[in-house]
Amino acid sequence: MSGTTAGLTPGQRLRSIFSGSVGNLVEWYDWYTYAAFSLYFAHVFFPDGDRTSQLLKTAAIFAVGFLMRPLGGWLLGRYADRHGRKAALLLSVLMMCAGSLIITFTPGYASIGVAAPALLVFARLLQGLSVGGEYGTSSTYLSEMATREHRGFWSSFQYVTLVLGHLLALGVLIVLQQVFLTDAQLREWGWRIPFAIGALAAISAVWLRRNMLETESFERSESTRAPSHQARQGTLRALMQHPRAVLTVIGLTMGGTLAFYTYTTYMHKFLVNSAGLDSRTAALLNASTLFVYMLMQPLVGALSDRIGRRPILIAFGVLGTACTVPILASLQDVHSAGQAFWLILAALAIVSGYTSINAVVKAELFPVEVRALGVGLPYALTVCLFGGTAEYVALWFKQAGMEQGFYWYVTACIAVSLLVYIAMPDTRATSRIDRDGVPTP
């Protein structure tokens, strides 16, 4: 199957969106498997120190992986704007597969010494490069493939598959914990299984993405744009002609990404290391709340198609600023799994105001010739600084005996993003996607 999206039937459009989304799911499963299983392999690569110290080191490598995301956002965003969204999405899933294979087969510190953590770092750098390019290109692909009246709904599946990837990583953890392996087996060798699963799943994602359609927006821009403008597609110089859009992406992402990683990636460790719950209960809580959270995304995305993007972002900013400290403080002193479930779910419902629509908002800010780069690069830079360091900063505050300082840090970042939401236009009404194909001078 090849060609453009012009004249697509709803079924064809849905298949293309599905193919793009499944590849996104596999990528994020591979990415989050590291976080889900780090409690079990931290001692393999870092045998010295107490549990908090070992987790701090693995969290540091998780953060290091984010350092490659801006580079991935630039390289693959530029590639997508020049050669098409489909080609860039194929490349990103291949890199993620390679990273998972390296982690699967890397011996521990006891066997090869410092080479073990070095290879772990290399694998995460490769995966960070992949994810950095995946987000911008996938967001652009889904936003361009969707119809105008349902763009918020369809683009929300970027986070549906992102969360589902996280959920599947947790699901594999729960199944291995409770059905197949003992705790000792998981710590000895069982933690390698989910990375092998991710590498194999990437093969099916490659096949699906080979059969995706290119978006009409990209194909139409290629046919109408002058050669001199085509040569500048995806360049930093071209991107810097849109400084307000770049700064808007940075500002709207700052609080949202920090809140997202706090209540998803870090929450499992927080429940074990701070609230005092056992690892299995924490995993079940994390998985169950993420499942409900995943179902929220299309609902909020569809709502944005009716009332606009800006009111939903403002709702997240206001509630996030007001409720972060009370929710995290209550979770730290939680007395039951049921209480923890509702607190986490309340937090994730608030975060949905950002996650469900942030992809489409960013895509609607940029013209087609720099859209993948414009969505991917400033987002990746911001996630690198705030999302990728969430675990490390939280654990640093805890180790320093000032855990509540992290709660206020998250609150302050959301408050800054709220100011951006108030000042920015509603992109549903000003979408640059609606102007794709119009020649520029």
Q: What is the mean pLDDT of residues 43-51?
A: 68
66 vs 276, more confident: 276
Q: Answer yes or no: are the C-beta atoms of 31 and 100 closer than 8 Å.
A: no
| Cα dihedral sign, 61-63-66-67 | negative
Is 352's pLDDT higher than 60?
yes
The predicted pLDDT at position 173 comes to 85
The predicted pLDDT at position 54 comes to 64
Query: Which runs of consecutive H residues, i.e. helices, occur in 189-336?
Result: 193-210, 216-224, 227-230, 236-239, 243-263, 267-273, 279-307, 310-332
Of the candidate ranges 55-64, 76-85, 126-135, 362-371, the one whose mean pLDDT is the lowest? 55-64
User: 415 falls in which pLDDT band (50, 70, 90)?
Assistant: very high
The predicted pLDDT at position 412 comes to 96
CA distances from 356 to 71, 161, 190, 308, 427 (A): 25, 11, 34, 13, 14
| 230: phi then psi, degrees, rounded to nearest 5 | -60, -35
Domain coordinates of the chain in residue numbers?
12-223+230-429
User: 1 falls in which pLDDT band (50, 70, 90)?
Assistant: very low
The predicted pLDDT at position 307 comes to 93
The predicted pLDDT at position 4 comes to 44
The predicted pLDDT at position 227 comes to 52
Q: What is the mean pLDDT of residues 396-414?
A: 90
What are the tens digits of pLDDT across the range 372-390? Answer: 888 888 998 898 889 878 8
Mean pLDDT, the chain, whole residue set: 83
User: 53 falls in which pLDDT band (50, 70, 90)?
Assistant: low
Q: What is the mean pLDDT of residues 328-341?
A: 88
The predicted pLDDT at position 210 comes to 79
CA distances from 59 to 209, 389, 421 (A): 31, 8, 30
Which residues make Cβ contacts (< 8 Å) with residue 179, sequence separation at least 6?
A: none
Is 280's pLDDT higher than 60?
yes
| C-alpha of 439 from chain center | 33
The predicted pLDDT at position 251 comes to 94
Q: What is the distance between the alpha carbons of residues 39 and 187, in angstroms, rounded to a whole number? A: 8
The predicted pLDDT at position 342 comes to 94
The Cα angle at residue 211 between residues 210 and 214, in degrees rounded to 5: 90
Q: Answer yes or no: are the C-beta atoms of 169 and 176 closer than 8 Å.
A: no
Query: pLDDT above 90 covers what percent of the chain?
Result: 24
Is 434's pLDDT higher than 80?
no
The predicted pLDDT at position 144 comes to 81
Which residues make Cβ contacts (< 8 Å) with residue 303, sequence separation at least 6?
A: 152, 312
Q: What is the mean pLDDT of residues 35-57?
A: 71
pTM reported for the whole predicted model: 0.80
| Cβ neighbourhood burial of 263 (10 Å; 0-12, 13-18, 19+) | buried
Q: What is the mean pLDDT of residues 31-45?
A: 79
Of the candidate ranges 231-235, 359-363, 401-405, the one whose mean pLDDT is the lowest? 231-235
What are the tens digits of pLDDT across the range 286-301? Answer: 888 989 999 999 999 9
| Cα dihedral sign, 48-51-53-58 | positive
Contacts by residues 234-239 (CB-CB < 8 Å, ≥ 24 positions apart): 234/77, 234/78, 234/79, 234/80, 234/81, 234/82, 234/369, 234/370, 234/372, 234/373, 235/78, 235/370, 235/373, 236/74, 236/373, 238/369, 238/370, 239/370, 239/373, 239/374, 239/377
Is 90's pLDDT higher than 70?
yes
Under CATH, domain 12-223+230-429 is a member of which superfamily? MFS general substrate transporter like domains (1.20.1250.20)
